[in-house]
């Protein structure tokens, strides 16, 4: 005899509006790209903002920029609320393009988007979404939600 699934076992698909709302709340996301000269995807953490229905971040020349420009990318953010035990994940799939139009560059430079890393990040990238999906689920149990932090390597 199998047990009936309860509400906490369910994965809930989020609507587009709720997914965008969660994207706006998060601070760091992960950009997934496939470099032309490599067989495997690369994943880069980036701080970002949502602007005019797109995801905007700054970067410097390198693998991230060359693999993303004018190519399909995926961008993922997730979060967790320890008070409710709810976790969520949002994925944006689209094309990354460099912001080059003068007025768009001026608008983007006025966004409160600042690199966390000390190195200059002069290139502004906008992911124009083709698809956004999100899901929410209840984390397995209380002990799993409150695991102790891992010790730092010495």
Higher-pLDDT residue of 1 and 153 is: 153
**Paired tokens of 102:** 């003068």
pLDDT, residue 84, reads 86
Task: State the burial class of residue 18 (Cβ atoms within 10 Å of its Cβ: 0-12, 13-18, 19+).
Answer: middle
Q: How confident is the model at residue 105 (pLDDT cuts 50, 70, 90)?
A: confident
Do residues 46 and 62 lie in contact, with contact meaning Cβ atoms separated by under 8 Å? no
Beta-carbon contacts of 114 under 8 Å, excluding residues fewer than 6 positions away, are 47
Instruction: Please report the beta strands in 65-142, taking only residues with DSSP state E, as ranges in sequence order.
Output: 72-81, 86-98, 123-138
Q: What is the pLDDT of residues 4-40, one digit of tens each?
A: 444 556 899 999 999 999 999 999 999 999 999 889 9
pLDDT, residue 116, reads 80
CA distance 128 to 70: 10
CA distance 59 to 129: 19
pLDDT, residue 152, reads 58
Domains and CATH numbers, the chain: 14-133 (2.30.110.10)
Please state which of the ranges 56-70, 89-103, 137-151 shows the lowest mean pLDDT.
137-151
- Torsional sign, CA 137, 47, 112, 93: negative
CA distance 60 to 57: 10
pLDDT, residue 19, reads 97
pLDDT, residue 110, reads 76
pTM for the whole structure = 0.82
């Amino acid at each position: 005899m199998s047990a009936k699934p309860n509400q906490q076992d369910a994965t809930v698909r989020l609507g587009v509006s709720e997914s965008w709302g969660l994207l706006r709340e998060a601070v760091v996301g992960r950009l997934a790209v496939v470099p032309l000269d490599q067989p495997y995807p690369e994943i880069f953490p980036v701080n970002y903002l949502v602007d005019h229905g797109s995801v905007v971040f700054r970067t410097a020349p390198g693998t991230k920029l060359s693999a993303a420009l004018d190519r399909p990318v995926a961008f993922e953010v997730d979060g967790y609320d320890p008070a409710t035990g709810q976790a969520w994940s949002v994925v944006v799939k689209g094309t990354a393009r460099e912001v080059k139009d003068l007025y768009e560059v001026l608008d983007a430079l006025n966004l409160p988007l600042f690199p966390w890393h000390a190195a200059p990040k002069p290139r502004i990238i906008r992911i124009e979404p083709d698809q956004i999906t999100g899901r929410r689920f209840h984390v397995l149990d209380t002990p799993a939600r409150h695991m102790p932090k891992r010790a730092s390597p010495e």
